[in-house]
Each structure stands twice: as structure tokens, then as C-alpha cells.
A and B are shown apart, each in its own frame.
Chain A
Amino acid sequence: MEVPILKQGAVLIATFQAALSDADLNQLRMGLVQQVVKFRSRAVIVDVTAMDVMDSFASRTLREIAHMIRLRGAETVIVGIQPDVAFAMVQLGLTLEGVATALDLEEGLAYLTQKFKNID
């Protein structure tokens, strides 16, 4: 199942589906970085609202995506981690350290708007 990537101005929005396999996640990692380069995007929002499980592999892939995109000079915000999923992640010991998170898409966009305002 491929992850749709939407372009909205300088921001790319990737929306995760519930049943993502490891192969899908790896494909997304490459796809996102390529699109950030292609569109000269300044930020990426990864919406994980639909994800029912965030295990160690998914979490590591998200962190890698964020770090790769940072190396391109762009920002990544993970939005929509569900309460149950957050609870399981903490129990597992997954932290997503160094990656920005926001409640939902709206908050994520607000965070980026604020951030870019400060840069300009």
C-alpha cells in the first residue's frame, strides 16, 4: 500500500494508512526525501492518525526520515499519534527523540507557520 504524498506550498504532507508493511515504510522514506529535493520543500508533515501500531521498526523509520529531511535543510513534524499508540510506544521504550510532534494536522501546520515566520 503506497502512502499518498500531498504538496501544499512549501510543505509536503504524507498520510499513513493503518496497515503499512516494512516495505511500504522503506518506500516512503525514499519517496519523501526525493520529493523534498524535487519540490524544494521546507517542511514535511507525516500524519500517522490512522496508524494502529507504532512498533520499533516504524518508529526507527520515522526518526530516520526526520533526520534525512533535516540534512536537506527542511523540517519534519509527526502528527496524530493516538493516545493508545503513544502509551504502547512509551512502554516499548520508543521516544522519537529530536523529532517534532504535534496533536494533529492543523497544529502541525500552525507549528510550521510559526517557525517559518521566525526564520524570515
Chain B
Amino acid sequence: MAINSDQDIVTARQKGRALAIELGFSTGDATLIATSISELARNIVSYARKGEITLKIVHASSRQGITIIASDSGPGIRDIRQAMRDGFSTSGSLGLGLPGVRRLMDEFEIASEPGRGTIVTVKKWKL
């Protein structure tokens, strides 16, 4: 899904919730997934202006889950450790986006290069 505007944020999180429910996630977990998508998509719009959110169904030996990949070719993050701290923000936001998403999801990976862009990959497993 292309993320270019605040309207795309709403569409992306609605699609994420629908997919989660379809896979049999509880409504609680579907809300966590939708909220994470909202935060990641907003980071794209705020910092890179445009990017992409990809949703994937993942299978492991005995479980199923959802992977959300948020990628952009924006300015990138200079200090990832700082960006992962609660309350740190360069945009005047609350600074809870990335550390918050890490708490909402089961797995969290971030790769970023200044000037090249950022890719955040998160996973939620179905209980």
C-alpha cells in the first residue's frame, strides 16, 4: 500500500485490522496491529512524506502471524537508539511511536541509513 497522505494512514490501518480479524486474531490483538500500522504510517508521512506499508501473512511450524513492513526513502534516522527512547522526537510529536510499536508487537526490527531511508519490520503472532 502506498502511503502518501493522512487519509492513507486510515486506509492502511483499516486493511490491517480486516486482515488480522480474517486470520483469527482477537479483536484486542487486531486493535494492537491497527494501532501499530497507524503509528508506522504516520512516521512515513511525517518524516519521509511518502513510502509504503506491506502486510504479509507469516507461517511458522505451529503458528500464524502478521508481518508489517513500513519502508520509505526518506531522510533516515541518524541515531536509532535515541529514536527508540520514549519521549524522543524531532517532529514535535509525543515521541512514543517507535518505542510504543515495539511494545505493541511481538517482534521488531529497524534498519535505517541517513539519506537513504528507513525500513521497520514488525510481527505479531496469533496466540
Chain A interface residues (CB < 8 Å from chain B): 19-23, 52-57, 59-60, 83-85, 87-88, 91-94
Contacts and interface: CB of A to CB of B under 8 A. Distances in A.
Interface in B9-68: 9-10, 13-14, 17, 27-28, 30-32, 34-35, 38-39, 42
A57 B97 CA distance: 9
Contacts of A54: 35
A87 B27 CA distance: 11
Contact of B38 (A23, A55, A87): A55
A56 B93 contact: yes
* Main DSSP-derived SS at the B contact region: helix
B4 to A, nearest CB: 13
Highest count of chain B CB atoms <10 Å: which of A21, A55, A57, A87: A55
A94 B30 CA distance: 18
22 contacts: A21-B7, A21-B9, A22-B6, A22-B9, A22-B42, A23-B7, A53-B13, A53-B38, A54-B35, A55-B35, A56-B96, A56-B100, A59-B94, A60-B94, A84-B30, A87-B28, A88-B31, A88-B32, A91-B32, A91-B104, A93-B99, A94-B94
Q: How large is the interface on B (under 10, 10 to 19, 20 to 34, 35 or more residues)?
A: 20 to 34
Among all A-B residue pairs, the 8 with the closest Cβ atoms: A92-B100, A22-B6, A84-B31, A55-B38, A88-B35, A21-B6, A93-B96, A84-B28
